[in-house]
Amino acid sequence: MELSEDLTTDPKALSSGNVSKLFRHLGNFDWNHVTPVEYKSEEQSWLSVSRRVFTGETGETPQFHVRYFEIGQNGYSTLEQHEHEHVVVVMRGKGQAIMGEKRVELGFGDVLYVAPNEVHQFSNSQEEPFGFLCVVNAERDRPRPVEIGEGSSCF
């Protein structure tokens, strides 16, 4: 059997079909067939966060979605909670997470499980981007922003 560069040559199947897909890493935390988009449409609750979706929004039918988030220097995600759980695997740089009443440092290879209804937020105070894979339930509730006043980010 001959080696292939990719699993499909049909761009339409990649964006709307339940077909096997290969997302080849192109360097600098970019992948073929994946376009970075804004983290969320609301802009007041986060800063300097991009999202890349591998599975879950283009015709696949898994019980989970796999996304890659990247937070730029001095950026942060929304301080939020939700009923669904998720797992974060750090792939680039260093960052911090608020988990309930605690703040933890995260670095390459660390794995963080976020339990249902845990208040959480991710941030990056470093020059290098903080990037992580996030595996989440396919069927999930909408996150609820949490407001705890000034100092609600990880900085």
- The mean pLDDT value of the chain amounts to 88
* Residues tagged active-site: 134
Task: List, for residues 131-148, the tens digit of each pLDDT value.
Answer: 999 999 988 989 888 976
SS3 of the chain: CCCCCCCCCCHHHHHHCCCCCCCCEEECCEECCCCCEECCCCCCCCEEEEEEEEECCCCCCCCEEEEEEEEEEEEECCCEECCCCEEEEEEECCEEEEECCEEEEECCCCEEEECCCCCEEEEECCCCCEEEEEEEECCCCCCEECCCCCCCCCC
pLDDT confidence bin for 9, thresholds 50/70/90 = low
Looking at the domain 46-141, which fold is it? Jelly Rolls (2.60.120)
Task: List, for residues 94-123, the tens digit of each pLDDT value.
Answer: 999 999 999 999 999 999 999 999 999 999
Q: What is the value of pTM for the model shown?
A: 0.88
